A and B are shown apart, each in its own frame.
Chain A
């Protein structure tokens, strides 16, 4: 079943970094850039969806209203969405639903974050019934420790090496060199990675993404509205990128892959484990919605929370068979200039994670890739792009854009 498309009229970002300013500032900058890119006046926006941030107090929990107020109240209806790393995609989906149901023509979607230094940690207080709090107290299990256990599985199952992981970072660092929105724009060598301290074996500091400040926004509309703008001459039909799918599926019981922040997997002693893993299902649901398959993809932005995780995504999104990701990387297929560039933006390796902005930043990047206007590394003549991410508590998302 393919779902009706919506048009991406404009995209915008605030550079990622560690600025320490109010997240609203980044969101407003991104929103204004997206509105300018779309040539849409703020007063013409009929719906605002904000992706929430958890570490910036009440304004962060009501991001839609926070951004609408900062841009100047117009009476526009708002919503706010939180879904860990998938928050941006959930906000985007809420805006798409408004448009596809006919309730509005044009919507603004914004996500921004200001992150503290160091490991992401749970909110303060004694919260003995919160698994995210308990995993730190009882296990000392940080996010990188889960990434590391998945990386160890790759090594054990497929013979991946720490040098394979390092090559992901080398590639992404090279991709991000000229990207004006990236936080890190510096070439990284294998020797740099080897010299960086181990955080959670087998992952070293440069294998793991940082946490960052940043903001990203999109202006989307119905296809009819976009056609009218094209007729008026304010939008180029050649530049028109469409959203063909947004997947925000949850796992299917029993989920036998260890997920953050859990103490255990589900048990497969009663019901049989599903044939498709959660991460595979994130991509599969998007492909089904768009009515396409992995062979149709020209460019991808995937969540490299760790270098090893990028390799997992090659397989989970169907770019290659299980266990063949290292070969795909080594053959240069996923490097810009190859058949299927992955993370031409530089990925989380160059950005660091700004949770509620990240899924939107992926779609901004894919839009620039499809328009052929990406200022950093550019995939050649890309027509279809896919994003993918996964976060805590059974969240994940994938967005497919096409032109």
Chain B
């Protein structure tokens, strides 16, 4: 029986987005949840719920929005050594993973995320198109903990990448 799937963080993403303009090939949809300052038009991620941080717009309403699920790679790196706690390794022994900073055109902001397993820095290039997919951050006896991950759009059509996205 499949384990229960729990979000690794509450309220930062949805696995049931209303906007299905872009759907990742062979993976479930996911969208990051941000907030939008309705008067200035600026976005916040993680969702800012206290007040708009755009100076001069303190009174503006903050509205929950789904952020673009596709963007361009602004920069990237990998983690050859296991990061310290509170990081929880997805596997034992530790497998290095890549990190992506992806620029969203509409929101004019850069959002970080891990890259799906099976991708190395050799597969990456600044400017390439990236899409958001759900991925397993880590698991314990009870559940799999789900987080957003970035994947090169071009890798979405290959079998190996499909398998890695669960």
Which residues of chain A have a CB within 8 Å of any CB of chain B?
Answer: 118-119, 121-122, 124, 126, 128, 131, 133-142, 145, 148-150, 152-153, 156, 197-203, 253-254, 256, 258, 262-271
Contact = CB atoms under 8 A, between A and B. Distances in A.
Contacts of B111: 263-264
A142 B79 contact: yes
A258 B9 CA distance: 21
B41 interface: yes
A263 B81 CA distance: 20
Nearest to A119: B84
Contact of B110 (A124, A203, A264): A264
B155 to A, nearest CB: 18
Bin the interface of chain B by size.
35 or more
Contact of A136 (B43, B75, B83, B99): B83
A200 B79 contact: yes
Contacts of A124: 85
Nearest to A155: B126
Contacts of A148: 77
Contacts of B43: 267, 269-270
B87 A265 contact: no
Nearest to B104: A267
Given A263-B45, A264-B111, A140 B97 contact: yes
Contact of A201 (B45, B53, B121): B121
A140 to B, nearest CB: 4
B80 A199 contact: yes
Contacts of A203: 77
Contacts of A128: 9
Contacts, number: 136
Interface in B26-59: 37, 40-46, 53-55, 57
Contact of B45 (A122, A145, A258, A264): A264
Contacts of A140: 79, 83, 87, 97, 99, 114
Contact of B42 (A133, A141, A267): A267
A119 to B, nearest CB: 5
B87 A201 contact: no
Nearest to A130: B86
A269 B107 contact: yes
A373 B21 CA distance: 66
Contact of B99 (A133, A134, A141, A270): A141
Contacts of A268: 42, 108-109
Contacts of B84: 118-119, 121, 136, 142
Nearest to B39: A270
B109 A198 contact: no
A119 B44 CA distance: 29
A138 B80 contact: no
Interface string B95-134: 0010101000011111111100000010000110000000
* 9 cross-chain pairs, A with B, having the tightest CB-CB distances, nearest first: A270-B42, A270-B40, A148-B77, A270-B41, A121-B84, A149-B75, A267-B43, A267-B109, A156-B126
Given A137-B8, A198-B80, A201-B78, 15 more contacts: A121-B84, A121-B85, A122-B86, A131-B46, A137-B88, A138-B147, A140-B99, A142-B84, A149-B76, A152-B77, A199-B80, A264-B112, A268-B109, A270-B37, A271-B54
Nearest to B52: A270
Given A138-B8, A152-B77, A266-B109, A253 B55 contact: yes
Contacts of B147: 138
Nearest to B120: A201
A266 B114 contact: no
Contacts of B136: none
A148 B41 CA distance: 31
B130 to A, nearest CB: 14
14 contacts: A119-B84, A121-B84, A140-B79, A142-B79, A142-B84, A149-B77, A156-B127, A256-B109, A262-B112, A264-B46, A264-B109, A264-B110, A268-B109, A270-B54
Contacts of B79: 140, 142, 145, 200
B137 interface: yes
A201 B77 contact: yes
Interface in B9-30: 9
B80 A152 contact: no
Contacts of B45: 263-264
A201 B77 CA distance: 5
Most chain A CB within 10 A, of B76, B80, B86, is at B86
Given A139-B113, A266-B42, A201 B9 contact: no
A126 to B, nearest CB: 8
B77 A137 contact: no
Nearest to B89: A140
Given A149-B77, A270-B40, A263 B83 contact: no
A384 B126 CA distance: 39
Contacts of B126: 152-153, 156
A150 B77 CA distance: 9
Given A149-B76, A152-B126, A136 B87 contact: yes
